[in-house]
Structure 1
């Protein structure tokens, strides 16, 4: 089975070129959407502003269920930006002639490292270095020798979980689309395309939810969340 056809691939099939061009295209689309939503702000939103406000309200509601509305609002810019970026990156791969940047480990691993570094930084900043790592030792002091290395491994495994979950799902969707277009190159199969689009947004939702969960677990050490 050959490689996916891409318009940028007509210039070069080099891995780094294909990844970089599609990632820059994703970033450009995100910036255009943000510009359209904020260029003419109105009290009663319309058009792109209305869509983006609905999106932000949904992300905020999701975060409020995880860590409370006040904390969710604090981290809304980060989570909403990641969600928009990942969502657009995934949807690009559904369009024939383009490949999702999230189908490259470079993309998913970088995002996972950003989330991992940031939630640990926030946990230390909000709770203090000693208090944050003391939480890794568990509720029973005499099991600290066992719990601490388990927690360390658990947190590091989140990098693998975040990056490879997104990579595997999007890469699988790309392979499915390639087979689909080989079998029916002239007739666009609407239902499979709709399913792929739904999966693209679902993976963005999962990434945002996990980001909120990890942030909540890091900053709310003494709460019941």
Structure 2
């Protein structure tokens, strides 16, 4: 939202680039802070922040194991879990007055999509070998390989657009939705909007995490994914 008040960090300037950098660093800081608080005083019977984070991690592992298997889910938990928590923190800024959600900027979402894209190809090549990994792009039928190969390549590159614009579009849309509510009924309806946007913040982080697992599993096993 271009006219959102730049309250706390206004002394840094009013350019969108500065706002994106500051809010991205703030989202990363919040994610690290929550992790530090959860592991500061580990207990056998968890409570407080440790209890919440253990529930989050167990939830991510459960979903990841259901999509892939337990071994893959645990191996790639650091990436998928970190992305989910960071994206959630960034998304949640849209309900805080004076803050701009960094995930509502396509530059950040495109960067996150490229990280996933490059990483799952790297893991696929490492797991299967370069030759075998490239060969699976040609499909199981050899005489169709000249047709299938470019289709598969385009399909993989389209994932960058899918990941980045899905997240960006939904968060930016929520931001504009809140602006309309504030203009029409600043004291009543925004409460429902805040609830919906909080759910959307969780949902978009969840979807990004799920697709990360899906793409990695397809790359390391050579199996085609059905979830897009």
Number of residue-to-residue matches in the alignment: 225
Q: Distance in 2 between matches of 1:14 and 1:224?
A: 40
SS at match of 1:93: helix
Deviations 1:141-166 (A, max 9, x none): 10000100000000001001100110
Q: Distance in 2 between matches of 1:141 and 1:18?
A: 51
Deviations 1:62-107 (A, max 9, x none): 1111111111111011100000000010001111211100011111
Give the alignment's Cα RMSD to 1 decimal: 1.8
Task: Tell me if the contact between 1:102 and 1:167 (Cα under 8 Å) persists in the aligned partners.
Answer: yes
Change over 3 Å in CA distance of 1:28–1:222 after alignment to 2 = closer
Q: Distance in 1 between matches of 2:211 and 2:138?
A: 22
Q: Distance in 1 between matches of 2:90 and 2:146?
A: 42
- The answer on 1:6 being equivalent to 2:3 is no
1:83-98 correspondence runs (5 A): 83-98=84-99
> Counterpart in 1 of 2:167?
166
Please, which runs of 5 or more residues in structure 1 have no aligned partner? Answer: none
- The answer on 1:219 being equivalent to 2:211 is no
- The answer on 1:69 being equivalent to 2:62 is no
> Counterpart in 2 of 1:104?
105
> Counterpart in 1 of 2:61?
60
Q: Distance in 1 between matches of 2:2 and 2:103?
A: 19
Change over 3 Å in CA distance of 1:156–1:43 after alignment to 2 = same
Task: Tell me if the contact between 1:8 and 1:18 (Cα under 8 Å) persists in the aligned partners.
Answer: no
Q: Distance in 2 between matches of 1:203 and 1:164?
A: 11
1:1-225 correspondence runs (5 A): 3-8=3-8, 10-11=10-11, 12-187=13-188, 189-221=190-222
Q: Distance in 2 between matches of 1:168 and 1:61?
A: 28
Task: Tell me if the contact between 1:4 and 1:178 (Cα under 8 Å) persists in the aligned partners.
Answer: no
TM-score (norm: length of structure 1): 0.95
Task: Tell me if the contact between 1:6 and 1:96 (Cα under 8 Å) persists in the aligned partners.
Answer: no
Q: Distance in 1 between matches of 2:2 and 2:26?
A: 24
Quote the offset at 1:185 in angstroms.
3.1
Please, which runs of 5 or more residues in structure 2 have no aligned partner? Answer: none
More deviation, 77-86/11-20? 11-20
